[in-house]
Amino acid sequence: MTSKLILAAGICCLPLISCTTNKEDSTEQTQAKEGHDLVMKSIEAHGGTEKWYNNGQLQFRWTYHMSDKEPEKVLDSIQTIDPKSLAIVHEVPDSNIRFGMKDGRSWILPAEAKFGSPVAFWSLTPYYFIGIPFVFNDPNASFEKLPDMMAFEAKDYTQVKITFNEKAGDSPDDYYVLLIDPKTNLTKGAYYTVTNKLVAPDGPGPAKFISLDNLKDVDGILMASGHRTFEMVDGKIADQMRYTDVSEVKYLPADTVDLSIPEGAEMQ
């Protein structure tokens, strides 16, 4: 009798478990589709993929003030990148130092030169921030629209979380959460983690939020002309800790700057 009751109970529960699982799967699929669609709408609001990939070489200066680390710590370089191939060259102002990446291989010249961050990490980092939201048009990315809005400077934004599979490069465990204006679809910023072992050897630290400030139209693409970096405390945006000046932003005709690995460069 007991066995039959247990068996009967188990049979009765199976449809409930199945329904619950199907409902969870359906919710996840809906959140994924809504998240993906929102990011694609944001990319269109910022100018669209056609211009992003076909305007030519993107050149900009990124001056990153890290006063929370050291009062005078600044990472500063003029960068030229091909958004299609991600080949990039950095030139450090007032020096002969150049570094970059091509086909996933990072380099620096002169061979004995030093920079304030590992070039294998820093080569594409500024591009990844100035390139929000375009950089998330990635086949290795997964999207999830989060149920809650996030407030920043007295305005509420829709949140979309982005994660990556193992094919996404050196840091597939990074995540980003975009804050998207529900009226304009423009991205205001993102909070994120850094898991790259070159700069986070002990595992990811607390998430940080970076804003996209003072959007400027550059040949039909809206890009930030500055960033502010904030601490995240208990899941909320807290105090500002860093800032970035973005300047000299322009597109150059394709192949204007040689993005190949120069002879004599030290591979990193």
Length of the chain: 268
The residue assigned the tokens 């290795």 is 140
> What is 15-41 written as a DSSP string?
HHHHHHHHHHHHHHHHHHHHHHHHHHH
CA-nearest of 259, 208, 197 to 238 is: 208
* Residue 172 CB contacts under 8 Å (≥ 6 apart), including other chains: 140, 164, 165, 166
Is 232 contained in some domain?
A: yes
Residue 178, Cα to own-chain centre: how many angstroms? 9
The domain spanning residue 75 has which CATH number?
2.50.20.10
Q: Which domain holds residue 136?
A: 33-267
pLDDT tens-digit series, residues 135-192: 999 998 999 999 999 999 999 999 999 998 765 455 456 799 999 999 999 999 999 9
pLDDT at residue 203 greater than cutoff 90 = no
Q: How many domains does the chain have?
A: 1
Is 4 contained in some domain?
A: no
Range 74-80 average pLDDT: 98
The residue assigned the tokens 């690995």 is 261
Look at residue 105 in the predicted model and tell me its pLDDT: 96
- % of the chain beyond a pLDDT of 90: 76
What is the Cα–Cα distance from 192 to 194, expressed in whole angstroms?
7
Helix (H, G, I), strand (E, B) or coil at 240: strand
Is 214 contained in some domain?
A: yes
- CA distances 28 to 21, 22, 121, Å, are 11, 10, 32
Look at residue 1 in the predicted model and tell me its pLDDT: 36
Look at residue 194 in the predicted model and tell me its pLDDT: 83
Tokens (6 digits) for 191: 């909070």
More confident residue, 9 or 51: 51
> What is 77-123 written as a DSSP string?
EEEEE-TTT--EEEE-TTSS-EEEEETTEEEEESTT---SS-HHHHT
Is 164 contained in some domain?
A: yes
Is 243 contained in some domain?
A: yes
Range 99-110 average pLDDT: 97
Is 8 contained in some domain?
A: no
Is 240 contained in some domain?
A: yes
CA-nearest of 133, 137, 131, 134 to 158 is: 133
Is 18 contained in some domain?
A: no
Per-residue exposure over 119-146, b if at least 16 CB sit within 10 Å of its own CB, e if not: bbbbbbbbbebbbbbbbbeeeebebbbe
* Residue 257 CB contacts under 8 Å (≥ 6 apart), including other chains: 57, 59, 80, 89
Look at residue 3 in the predicted model and tell me its pLDDT: 37
Which pTM does this prediction carry? 0.86
